[in-house]
Structure 1
Amino acid sequence: MKASREQGSAASEPADKGPSWLTALITMVAVQMATAFLSRIPPTLAPALAAERGWSDAVVGYLASMNTLGSILFLALGAPFLRRLGSVRSLQGGLVLGILGLALLLPPFSATAAMASLLIGLGYGPSSPAGNDVLHRTAPPRRRAIIFSIKQAGVPLGGIIAGLVLPPIVVAFGWQAALLVSGVFVLAIIIAVQPMRAGLDSGRKRDQALSLGAVFAPANIVSSLAAVTTSPSLVRLASAGACLAVGQGIWFAYLITFAVSVLGYDLKAAGIAFAIMQATSVGGRILLGWLADRYGSPRRMLGLLGLASGLSSLAMAIVGPGWSFPAFCALAAVAGVCVSSWNGVQLSEVARACPPHLVREASAGATLIIFLGYIVAPAAFALLLTLTGRFDIGFLACTAFGFLCCAIMRERPPERPQ
Structure 2
Amino acid sequence: MQRIYMDANATTPLLPEVFEAMRPFYLEHYGNASSIHQQGQQARSAVDRAREHVAGLLHCRPAEVVFTSGGTESDNLALFGVLAKGDHLITTAIEHHAVLHAAQSLEARGIEVTILPVTPAGIVEPTELLAALRPNTRLVSVMYANNETGVIQPIDALAGIAHAGGALFHTDAVQAAGKLPLDVSPHGFLKDVDLLTLSGHKIHAPKGVGALYVRRSVQLSPMFHGGSHERQRRAGTENVPGIVGLGKAAEVATAWLKNDGPASLACLRDRLEQGILSLIEETGVNGAGVSRVGNTTNIYFDHVEAEALLIALDLKGLSVSGGSACQSGASEPSHVLIAMGLSAARSRASIRFSLSKLTTQAEIDQALQLVPAAVAHLRELSPAYNKKTLAVTV
TM-score by length of 2: 0.27
- Larger relative contact order (C-alpha < 8 A, sep ≥ 6)? 1
Question: Greater share of helix residues, 1 or 2?
Answer: 1
Please say which structure displays the higher CA radius of gyration.
2
> Which structure has more strand as a fraction of its residues?
2
Question: Normalising by structure 1, what TM-score?
Answer: 0.26
